Amino acid sequence: MRVLGVDPGLTRCGVGVVEGVAGRPLTMLGVGVVRTPADAEIAHRLVGIERGIEEWLDAHHPDMVAVERVFSQHNVRTVMGTAQASAVAMLCASRRGIPVTLHTPSEVKAAVTGSGRADKDQVGAMVTRLLRLDAPPKPADAADALALAICHIWRAPAQNRLQRAVAAHHARKGPTA
């Protein structure tokens, strides 16, 4: 399974591609950041994000895209931009027919470090170890994107089983169940 992880943001949108299956060593195929200028108009920035994500999809043809689930937290201004960048990433994947899954930051941290409250250094260190890299990817957004992809590969089997179970339940009960 090849997964593109996206840590959404307008100024720095982290992207990372990881290949592998749960229980086997994972391979990093690429990591980077899609940037747009902070002083550009929001509409132009979204076009820049779209172009960047499209390039990553063209280059790597992922089977799945994992995007960080955005919550409304402290900084309202940042959260809006993050929600909008995540919308563009989801749109780019979904219109190609690539399944999109959202993972919360604590799910991602728990998946790669064992703790949902791990800090950025811990996440970076575990990403480095799990992908057998020489150093933690910089900036942190790039490391977070790889952590999202790893999280998705490890969580996906359970999620897929759940989705199949729900689908089977609906099939038995009919579409209105």
Binding site membership: which residues? 7, 68, 141
Applying CB under 8 A, the span of 17-25, 70-78, 116-124, 130-138 interacting with a second copy comes to 70-78
Single-letter residue type at 130: L
Q: State the number of binding residues for a second copy (CB under 8 A).
A: 26
Query: Residue 41 Cβ, how far from a second copy at the closest point, in Å?
Result: 7
107 flagged as catalytic: no
Closest to 28 in 3D by CA, of 56, 7, 4, 53: 4
**Pairwise CA distance, residues 168 & 136, whole Å:** 42
- Is 165 a binding residue for a second copy by CB under 8 A? The answer is no
Query: Residue 9 Cβ, how far from a second copy at the closest point, in Å?
Result: 13
- Is 151 a binding residue for a second copy by CB under 8 A? The answer is no
Contact residue for a second copy among 29, 79, 110, 133 (CB under 8 A):
79
- Is 74 a binding residue for a second copy by CB under 8 A? The answer is no
Q: What separation, in Å, do the N-terminal and C-terminal C-alpha atoms of the chain show?
A: 32
Contacts of 13 (CB under 8 A, 6+ apart): 6, 7, 33, 34, 35, 36, 49, 52, 53, 85, 89, 141
**Pairwise CA distance, residues 95 & 97, whole Å:** 5
- Is 104 a binding residue for a second copy by CB under 8 A? The answer is no
- Is 42 a binding residue for a second copy by CB under 8 A? The answer is yes
In the structure encoding, which two tokens stand for residue 66, read together? 């994992």
Active site residues: 7, 68, 141
User: What residue ranges bind a second copy (CB under 8 A)?
Assistant: 41-44, 46-47, 50, 70-72, 76, 79-80, 83-88, 90-91, 93-95, 100, 102
